[in-house]
A and B are shown apart, each in its own frame.
Chain A
Amino acid sequence: MMSSLDRKLLRELWSLKAQVLAIALVIASGTALLIMALTTIEALEETTAAYYERTRFADVFAQAKRVPEHLGRDIAEIPGVRLAETRIVEGAILDMPGFAEPVVAQLLSLPERGPELLNTLVIRSGRLVDPTRPDEVVVSEPFAEAHRLKPGDTFAAVLRGRKRALHVVGTALSPEFVYAIAPGGLMPDDERFGILWMGHDALAAAFDLKASFNSVSLSLLPGTDEKDVIQRLDGLLAPFGGVGAYGRADQTSNWFLESEIAQQKNMSRIMPTIFLAVAAFLTNMVMARLIETERREIGLLKAFGYGNLAIGWHYAKMVLVIGTVGVLIGSLLGAWLGHWNTELYTKFYRFPFLLYRPGPAGFVIAGAISLGAALAGSLATVRRAVRLAPAEAMLPPSPPIYRRSWASQTALAGALDEPSRMILRRIVRWPVRAFLASLGLAMSMAVLIMALQWVDAIDSLAETAFERGQHQDATVAFNDLQPVDTVTDFANLPGVLSAEPYRHASARISHGHIVERQGIIGVPAGAVLSPVFDVERGVVEVPSGGVMISRKLAELLNARAGDTVTVELLEGRQARLTLPVAQIFETYLGTPAYMDMAALNRIAGDGRVVSGLHIRVDARSRRNLLEKLKDVPNIASVLFRQAAIDTFYKTMGETIFIFIGFFVAFSVTLSVGVTYNSIRIALSERARELATLRVLGFSRWEISYILLGEAGILTWIAIPLGAAIGYGLAWYMTSAFETELYRVPLVLRDATYGKAALIALTATLICAAIVRRRLDRLDLIAVLKTRE
């Protein structure tokens, strides 16, 4: 049998349902975001781990020029190695039907006999290649989708300068290309970069690598020292043009994947935490005011002999019910969003399956924080209410003492009408309450600004990286180092306006005990197309001696300008020398290191060579040039700046912008929840007063003005306050949000403040309109007859 007190609770919750829902939605917003973020990460990590395990993703990878087959046995005998698989990895340029630009492909060999030992393919359609048919290929599924390829299709490819037709027999996914990124690229571009798998013998024949291999993957026994294996492997491969083995952590796809997960973690820690804190503050505030209106009931219950504990528990239950509704909505929504978000990521990251099995941790954390905040907010008020003697609590609070302030003596005040004076006096009389109500709105606007800031930041990042920092139309990378004369050959191609070389060298940079595998880019003196670009100082000339490193790399290495670092080149004669850090510069993307190109060539000892070229293209002859590039031998890749910008935005659109979208939606919920409750509670507090005014002859609009005018003024106060807090939150987030992949600049456009302010104002207007309808139904007689 339900007690009368519980029945009272349920009926009151029901009659307050709009307010209950509004508070519950505020709680739900914070909860849902946290759960979405936590479960997405959990799912991504679990899916990655399961995928890697099922497909036996290798632990160590190495490339070389040409290694005799028999060395494979020596590699397999390195202590700690469980399995070793040798293969051929080469690049090719594809001519895809109906696609103007040359497409870059990476070709990998499949074992001639038996299944792959490591990095096994997950066949998505068709079959693996038949070893007896050298023109058969399996293509990566995302590439196949981008070009609508299916088993049975054919396309042309230039393999080592020879054009061939390749037949698609299947599509597949590989753990090595979860994040399929072209060498030198920043984001996956499935139209312009594809992975092809061919039979080992077919590839060996095409690239003149019979009885040889140029790539090896290893899996290690548990407890093996990876560094030791890498060192021994480097020793074995060095005579055959090895370019430095690396562990799973440095494998491109995995590095990006791990970085993205780290970034997600970062984001999920910062944004929902701020969001939940704001939601908690708002819940606290709203619940406190709601219970303030229950003062008379509390006095009455005390008069009947209910104890403080019983009364406290009664209101705690009220809060718990509201909080639980919020947490439940939030959990369901969060779990659904988490699943949806993870699905989105698995499409982007190309997993063949998705494990979304969120553990209880996220739900428990989010639920406990939300409920705790709601309880804390209301119990403080209940405590205050039960402290009053019941006789006092049951009286309507004695009329507050208003005073004529100095301001009311001024001429301006004389011009005010009485209703406006009522509004202003109320605000002046309860400045703390007015401030808190404003602060609540300001907080919801601030999180909105923080979320919208991302759009500004990413725009600014793209603009800095791609527009102000780079001026080339395309970047051509060669398979091997080319003599510097190649620049002239290219510059003379029809349609090429100018060409600027660069040199890239794989390297390990160390400072003290810290080692970072980081390629060094050689930039020619006076570079124009792709110079070193500092986000604040603009173009920076590369000093002729020493190495220039980005601020993030300097941090990773714990190095300062003027320190000396050890640079170990992983190609050519594997030079190892110490160089001064000539300068540190700031960039938003990656952790690059630069040197003067001539100086880099000197220490590498390869003569005057280039790895590739940046070119500017005449738009009118672009098509011709692209056709020509498809046939030029020795090109490993062609990257287009415009395509890079497009994929950047597309990727952002598929990931971060969606995340931001949720934040915006939830911020709006927050805003509506707070505003509605503030106005609604103000109405309960003042119903008697307003009804009296109606009896005195005030019109509905006039009393609406008295009630809503206050909300209006508080909203106006909230806007600059929200802008300031929003800036603070954005600053905090950008400074806390920093990964090796990218940093986010603190950029806030005026329009962003404007949008946030507009949303806050709209929320106030909508809530005011809803509450106003209640004012029309104010029962004058009833309100005056009984004490509210």
Chain B
Amino acid sequence: MENKASAIALEAHELTKIYRMGAVEVHALRGVDVEFREGELVVLLGPSGSGKSTLLNILGGLDTPTRGTVMFRGQPVRMDSERALNLYRRDHVGFVFQFYNLIPSLTARENVSLVTEIARNPMSPDEALSIVGLGDRIDHFPAQLSGGEQQRVAIARAIAKRPDLLLCDEPTGALDSKTGILVLEAILTINRELGTTTALITHNAVIAEIANRVLYFADGRIVETRQNAVQRVPGELAW
């Protein structure tokens, strides 16, 4: 739920990322400025290679920018310290990936407790799993779950530590629309009920309808920002 008066949770200035691949330099980000407000749900839209994932990775402390700064709640995130980044991820960020990235040797509950064990104020794995509607599948191994279920375990794993930021990289990319809607509903529930600032990457324009705000990416830049007057619920979507 958007609140105009709410504080800025996360902001980035002049983010540039250059990958060097052999002799070729790839400019993944070309000076991006962006800010996310507390409790906001932002969708990042754009073709592959436009820089969405790179931005998300840097915002989440998974990668470091070549130039530029990231501020979390007014404090700069120290990109030069591996330890600081690690603590930032541990305490504030939850990730959801396109390919779930569950540990195949752990059950749903155990995959979640992998994170709750090191978090400061986590909810119980069972609670996290019931938020995403998997209360009855907690003892299943990833191989025994459908793709949508696996992704919801991944979401439960991401939110169980009550993160301040939930960063989702194409969470529905590998799913059919019906399952994708279930996953989006889970993400929306968390955004609303826990007030978690959420950034979601997709290249499916329809999904952008659920956001407060949509950022359009192209060639390493944000080319357009759109404020949604109405947030649609995932159930109304179809693709």
Chain B binds chain A = yes
Where the two chains meet, the residues of A that have a C-beta atom closer than 8 Å to any C-beta of B are 3-5, 7-8, 11-12, 15, 296-297, 300-308, 310, 389-392, 394, 398, 401, 782, 785-787
Residue of B nearest to A9 (CB): B105
Min CB distance A398 to B, Å, is 8
Q: Decide: A4 near B86, CB < 8 A? Known: A303-B95, A394-B97, A786-B100.
A: no
Shortest beta-carbon contacts, A-B, top 10: A305-B90, A11-B105, A391-B62, A391-B57, A391-B63, A4-B114, A305-B89, A390-B62, A4-B113, A4-B110
Where the two chains meet, the residues of B that have a C-beta atom closer than 8 Å to any C-beta of A are 21-22, 57, 60, 62-64, 82-83, 86-87, 89-91, 93, 95, 97, 99-101, 103, 105-106, 110-111, 113-115, 117-119, 143, 147, 174
| Residue in A4, A15, A401, A782 whose CB lies within 8 Å of B117 | A4
Min CB distance A569 to B, Å, is 80
Residue of A nearest to B54 (CB): A391
Residues in A whose Cβ lies below 8 Å from that of B118: 304-306, 310
Known A297-B103, A300-B101; further 12 A-B contacts with Cβ < 8 A: A4-B114, A11-B106, A15-B105, A302-B89, A305-B87, A305-B90, A308-B82, A390-B62, A391-B57, A391-B62, A392-B63, A401-B22
Residue of B nearest to A387 (CB): B82
Q: Decide: A4 near B106, CB < 8 A? Known: A389-B64, A401-B22.
A: yes
Residues in B whose Cβ lies below 8 Å from that of A303: 60, 62, 89, 95
Min CB distance B12 to A, Å, is 15
Bound-state CA distance A785–B97 (Å) is 14
Q: Can you report 13 residue pairs joining A to B where beta carbons are below 8 Å apart?
A: A3-B117, A4-B106, A8-B110, A303-B89, A305-B89, A305-B93, A305-B118, A310-B118, A391-B57, A392-B63, A394-B101, A782-B143, A787-B99
Residues in A whose Cβ lies below 8 Å from that of B111: 4
Bound-state CA distance A390–B114 (Å) is 17
Bound-state CA distance A464–B119 (Å) is 75
Q: Are B110 and A296 in contact (CB under 8 A)?
A: no
Residue of A nearest to B62 (CB): A391
Q: Are B114 and A304 in contact (CB under 8 A)?
A: yes
Q: Are B63 and A389 in contact (CB under 8 A)?
A: yes
Q: Are A786 and B99 in contact (CB under 8 A)?
A: yes
Residues in A whose Cβ lies below 8 Å from that of B57: 389, 391
Tally of A-B residue pairs with Cβ under 8 A?
79
Residues in B whose Cβ lies below 8 Å from that of A785: 147, 174
Bound-state CA distance A3–B57 (Å) is 28
| Residue in B22, B62, B83, B115 whose CB lies within 8 Å of A389 | B62
Min CB distance B228 to A, Å, is 29
Q: Are A307 and B99 in contact (CB under 8 A)?
A: no
Residue of B nearest to A396 (CB): B99
Bound-state CA distance A297–B111 (Å) is 12
Residues in A whose Cβ lies below 8 Å from that of B143: 782
| Residue in B62, B83, B101, B106 whose CB lies within 8 Å of A307 | B83
Residue among B21, B60, B93, B101 with the highest chain A CB neighbour number at 10 A: B101
Bound-state CA distance A226–B58 (Å) is 82
Bound-state CA distance A394–B63 (Å) is 11
Residues in B whose Cβ lies below 8 Å from that of A8: 103, 105-106, 110, 114
Min CB distance B112 to A, Å, is 8
Bound-state CA distance A297–B117 (Å) is 17
Min CB distance A499 to B, Å, is 82
Residues in B whose Cβ lies below 8 Å from that of A394: 62, 97, 101
Bound-state CA distance A22–B86 (Å) is 36
Bound-state CA distance A303–B92 (Å) is 11
Bound-state CA distance A308–B85 (Å) is 12
Residues in A whose Cβ lies below 8 Å from that of B93: 305
Residue among B90, B105, B106, B111 with the highest chain A CB neighbour number at 10 A: B105
Bound-state CA distance A419–B62 (Å) is 37
Q: Are A12 and B105 in contact (CB under 8 A)?
A: yes
Min CB distance B161 to A, Å, is 8
Q: Are B100 and A7 in contact (CB under 8 A)?
A: no
Min CB distance B188 to A, Å, is 23
Min CB distance A184 to B, Å, is 70
Bound-state CA distance A394–B60 (Å) is 14
Min CB distance B58 to A, Å, is 8
Min CB distance B154 to A, Å, is 10
Residue of A nearest to B22 (CB): A401
Residue of A nearest to B100 (CB): A786
Q: Are A302 and B86 in contact (CB under 8 A)?
A: yes
Bound-state CA distance A80–B110 (Å) is 78
Bound-state CA distance A401–B60 (Å) is 29
Q: Are B105 and A304 in contact (CB under 8 A)?
A: no
Residues in A whose Cβ lies below 8 Å from that of B100: 786
Min CB distance A39 to B, Å, is 39
Q: Are A307 and B86 in contact (CB under 8 A)?
A: yes
Bound-state CA distance A452–B114 (Å) is 51
Bound-state CA distance A787–B101 (Å) is 8
Residue among A297, A303, A392, A787 with the highest chain B CB neighbour number at 10 A: A303
Min CB distance A457 to B, Å, is 50
Bound-state CA distance A297–B101 (Å) is 8
Min CB distance B44 to A, Å, is 15
Min CB distance B109 to A, Å, is 9
Bound-state CA distance A558–B95 (Å) is 76
